[in-house]
Structure 1
Amino acid sequence: MASYVALLRAVNVGGTGKLPMAELKAMCVAEGFEKVQTYIASGNVVFSDDRSEPEVKAALENRLKDYAGKPVGVIVRTAKEMADVLNANPFPDAPPNWTVAIFLDAPPPADTLDAVKDRKDEEVRVGKREIYVAFGPGMGRSKLKIPVAAGGTARNINTIAKLAELASST
């Protein structure tokens, strides 16, 4: 049985996509996922299941669509992949709360860095299916635009570390 981390897009952020984590957990349990745990209220859930990554992604997206009445994007990683994302952080000396990985379903296109706009103090690097960003003096003032990131969802390094830890024990 594989351990997974599912990251929901645009949930409980900026007043959009309200989803109580108790409801998310209940959906996952109803789907048959085991050892279900949510982490903070921004759409993170860790669980175990025998199905493949694409199958658990589709199952959770279907449940979320039924619940929300509209599609809710879900990015799924195995426990190992989440640990790999944490270990591959190209900015280990940057503040972990101001450093994020933007999770994507597929590898970023080769021209991802060329398409970045409005970069000031931010550093950007491409990973396997992620884009890493160190925001320098803070995320709040950043105007950074990464077009390919629109289909992804970001988590800071602190959150990634906790999700990797939870997934390793699921």
Structure 2
Amino acid sequence: MSLSFFPGRRVTVAHVVTCGCPAATERAPRYGAWVDADAEAARASAAAGREPLPGCEMPDICPQYPLHAEEIDADGPAPEVNTHNGTARLLLPLLELSVTDEDGQGDPYGTLPAPDFLGRVLTALALTPPDPGARGRAGRFSTGGRAPGHLQRRLHDLHHLAQWCQQHDRPVTWG
């Protein structure tokens, strides 16, 4: 499981067939409708001996995986910050976004105007002590560790996202 932070109010101008690599997505032919791009992705993925897409960053393994249709945003490639749930449980309270109901369950979904989100990120960057990291644990359930400074790196990623959203007059959404 994970939690993603991304720009809200996406305006789609086209659809492409892509492997997911940014350069391949940028070079891909545009389709006006999702169904057309999705049908082409299925056809191309099923073709025997498929070549990697132009611009693919992993041409050795790209043909082994299916292609998919993707929307093209009017504002160009938009940043997205995806976090593991463990990291999200640490970040949300730092950003004062943790909402807890009477059962102690959090609601990790929401939207804020970019300037408000940016203010929360800047406050968290200023007030959060250096992250010492955490060791992973193994046993009946394994949990991953966290490298020292990981929370600060994720806060810097969120800072970049908030600035992009503010420049493009878009809110920041998470969920």
TM-score above 0.5, yes or no = no
Query: What is the TM-score of this pair, normalised by structure 1?
Result: 0.27
Q: Which of structures 1 and 2 has the bigger CA Rg?
A: 2
Query: What is the TM-score of this pair, normalised by structure 2?
Result: 0.26
